[in-house]
Structure 1
């Protein structure tokens, strides 16, 4: 009966969920959670948009002009008037006015070209004509080796990996070379990661090449259970990559290249940046790789970012009926099935003695402290706070200085589990819930909000009035955090005074702020700046369009005018003088 339920749920969710069904038996690992196991040099715009996705263009009802172009374009438009500093990249047209000197402040024409459309006789910005204008890779190029655009940020350089990866990756205290993770009750603060100091045992995972792995269950890549690369690897276990399907939040399925565990870490750019000590025990000359120590203790270095409280709470709801630790299909996480456990902890029941020999501890009493029952079973329903995953945030564009109801969808926002009651054999059920964390673009927490409502897959919360800018929305559930998604707060036009000055005919003057400077663009010519009256008629002449003032002459006195810029539209009533 349960198999039938799983098949029905699978059929219902296949076309609409963000899940991806790779080969159920790894490697490669199923690409359902976290950033794909690929290299940024292979990313294309569609994969970028799995995190930075935009909504479909809206059209202004009066001017039929494209406005409010979605989260990602709005995020770029917020750069207008800010310094051009090359972070993350310089714009395509640094000398937009052609005077031989690069601009130091962003304007529209640093990213857009003006072209004359012979069919209309009007100038238009290039993206109306050029279909491939919004290809992220036109500007955000990436070659293998150097730091990626993400890992060059201050957040990454400060070791705050979890601010992008969520609870799947912890972080590094770059001064102490120790692991750190989010504080369980004070979002924005961190606490040290707890790493075991006791003797490793037969169940201790290895990154790869575990001498006492379970050779009886070798997978198709030739890797044994007990190693990280039992799952996190290419299909054949060799260098190179494996093509795998990935379903994006919008339902589109693309093909990505999945790399080995080692290549995924090195391709971040931290290897070339000299951050080897973040992931390796260094001893001697490391220029040729011989200075890295690889033994049973190496996993302790991995636990700086991948500690037990993270690894033991990673699971994907492949069926869509809620996550039951120990009761899920195998290989969609770490704790859903006994096979998942064995993939990490598999062994052949041997341990290493003082002479370096691998022996059975049951016949060597002095080594019994390294022995663990290799046949122990996963306790169904027992877990901690499962790592939440955000798939969508709606809306991703909101107006500044206004309260907005925001909806988040994803997985594991709420989960219940059985816990052992201290001092007894009894168990009790505990439920973990999430809080919404709002951060600025640098990861600094600006607000912590209790949801209006929440369940395992949906959260609604009221976003208090914010100043314009780019923000990150994430969840914190005890000591776990989710991946973030961006939210752009738009500077909507704010009118102080608007009137018709009749001594000069139907001359309309508007004063206020956040109108945006048209930066040399001719308004009402397919470039994001429009002013029309209540009947859709444009001015016969524009005299001025600045961020705080607009002056235009109409043929007849308007009753109202609609001001439109790249962030939206506003209907304005007019006085008459």
Structure 2
């Protein structure tokens, strides 16, 4: 057992930051140790520089069943909230619903596949099999059974709508999205412009690969402290699936879709190759990546070298060979916030619920910050901004109001700040999922001749199969009642007898209620 636990812990270190956002300055407590100098670069913050496009199902559970990373109960809740939700209909280009009819028999007729745009139902994800006496579920508790990866090309996480449409910040936080208007220099390369590979310094200073090695032609390197196998920039980016697109604005019909996201294929040296990196890794975001190396907060120029980008003059020279300035003079504004954890990933609608959002750069870090809010974005794009009741550097408290409708929400932290020209801009964190669940409750129940009629809410849909998690039963009964009809607000079931109490088991939870028993009075014939 000890060897198994040690192996799982090592695997967790290797994989679990899939669920973590990229990190920024002002956000991190001092780690115990670090592997310096690079390469490979310290894997102390953000998503690791490794390849994650050949996972096995057990590896998914290392993160998705660890309550310290992702609330395990939140996974089925997120799926069940898709049911009959008009804001989250089936998109056949991206859905993981394996049994949805998304086969377009004639792509040239411009008629979508049969289930494209349809409301989700239980049977889009679940298949039933008859075992001779009852229906049972086909295997489905295997993440990769529905969530397909493209082995060697794209991880499960990079076949989503966000990844395929270039919304990198949705998960990676403090980077820049392509085409979002962030500043990319247009001037020619100078003596301090970083190279994408090794620089011209004695050990390769002046280029990304000085820290972010190995080179594309070299085998991966082991970061001994985090036990992460670090791959080259080419392998981590090409293996992420960014070349798959679609990027309709970049598709010239000749170059593979997505290559031009990073590469100037017509003239690789004009503009400098680094400008392709800056499509996502802009100057401002790069100058906010720093780990607190000594526990006194991030102080540019006063940190141990190689713990970030602006901690010491050696870090400056790692990118900008011949840099004459001190890291302490690097201009940086308010830290971009990041979200790494929620005290609760599932709350109930109709109830005010206090949660704590944990992450970094939550405070203003500058007098130019005008406001800090928690934003909930619904599936239809509607945004609700909530004001925190308490804010510290690494966390903030906020109340999810009872008026929020049930559904899945992307929760992020947003700072509004003023620019030197008095315009107002925003800094947004990565997002994490918050599920607002319906309360399962029985408001009325009556019974006559063994047939129970139940009114209430949160019943969702019914699946007539063993272990479906949906049923009606009498207290202490050996067998469940036979369901005659079932909707989100009304159930009719044949229980064989009338009892003063009834139980309902829904995909969203359980509820019990009192039953009004109707007595049948027979009229005597004259």
TM-score w.r.t. length of structure 2: 0.73
2:489 maps to 1:548: yes
User: What does 1:272-283 correspond to in 2, within 5 Å?
Assistant: 272-273=244-245, 274-283=257-266
Q: What is the match of residue 355 of structure 1?
A: none
Between the aligned partners of 1:540 and 1:205, the Cα distance in structure 2 is 70
Between the aligned partners of 2:229 and 2:446, the Cα distance in structure 1 is 61
2:220 maps to 1:241: yes
Query: Deviation at 1:20?
Result: 9.8
The answer to which structure has the higher strand fraction is 1
Q: Which runs of 5+ in 1 are unaligned?
A: 1-13, 57-67, 96-100, 128-132, 174-179, 181-191, 219-223, 248-254, 284-290, 348-373, 418-428
Q: Is the 8 A contact 2:299 2:328 kept in 1?
A: no
User: Over the residues paired in the alignment, what is the CA RMSD in angstroms?
Assistant: 4.0
User: What does 1:80-95 correspond to in 2, within 5 Å?
Assistant: 80-81=83-84, 84-93=90-99
TM-score w.r.t. length of structure 1: 0.67
Q: Is the 8 A contact 2:291 2:298 kept in 1?
A: yes
Between the aligned partners of 1:430 and 1:91, the Cα distance in structure 2 is 46
Distance 1:572 1:39, change over 3 A: same
Q: What is the match of residue 291 of structure 2?
A: 316
State which of 356, 367, 378 in structure 2 corresponds to 1:407: 356
Query: Deviation at 1:145?
Result: 6.5
Distance 1:409 1:272, change over 3 A: closer
Distance 1:170 1:51, change over 3 A: farther
Q: Which runs of 5+ in 2 are unaligned?
A: 1-12, 21-30, 102-112, 246-256, 418-425, 519-526
Distance 1:387 1:530, change over 3 A: same
Query: Deviation at 1:461?
Result: 0.6
2:293 maps to 1:293: no
User: What does 1:86-105 correspond to in 2, within 5 Å?
Assistant: 86-93=92-99
State which of 170, 175, 194 in structure 1 corresponds to 2:183: 194
2:452 maps to 1:508: yes
State which of 133, 148, 170 in structure 2 corresponds to 1:163: 170
User: What does 1:460-499 correspond to in 2, within 5 Å?
Assistant: 460-464=397-401, 465-477=403-415, 478=417, 479-493=426-440, 495=442, 497-499=443-445
Deviations 1:187-234 (A, max 9, x none): xxxxx2123345543222111243xx321xx1xxxxx11111112223
Query: Deviation at 1:385?
Result: 1.9
Q: Is the 8 A contact 1:473 1:486 kept in 2?
A: yes
Q: Is the 8 A contact 1:311 1:334 kept in 2?
A: yes
Q: Is the 8 A contact 1:42 1:257 kept in 2?
A: no
Query: Deviation at 1:48?
Result: 5.0
| Runs of 4+ with deviation above 6 angstroms | 16-22, 101-105, 115-118, 429-433
2:393 maps to 1:456: yes
Q: What is the match of residue 71 of structure 1?
A: 74
Q: What is the match of residue 518 of structure 1?
A: 462
Q: What is the match of residue 446 of structure 1?
A: 383
Q: Is the 8 A contact 2:205 2:318 kept in 1?
A: yes
Between the aligned partners of 2:60 and 2:127, the Cα distance in structure 1 is 24
Deviations 1:434-459 (A, max 9, x none): 421212347x3511222111111121
State which of 41, 45, 51 in structure 2 corresponds to 1:39: 51
Q: What is the match of residue 197 of structure 2?
A: 208
User: What does 1:98-117 correspond to in 2, within 5 Å?
Assistant: 106-112=120-126
Between the aligned partners of 1:394 and 1:544, the Cα distance in structure 2 is 38
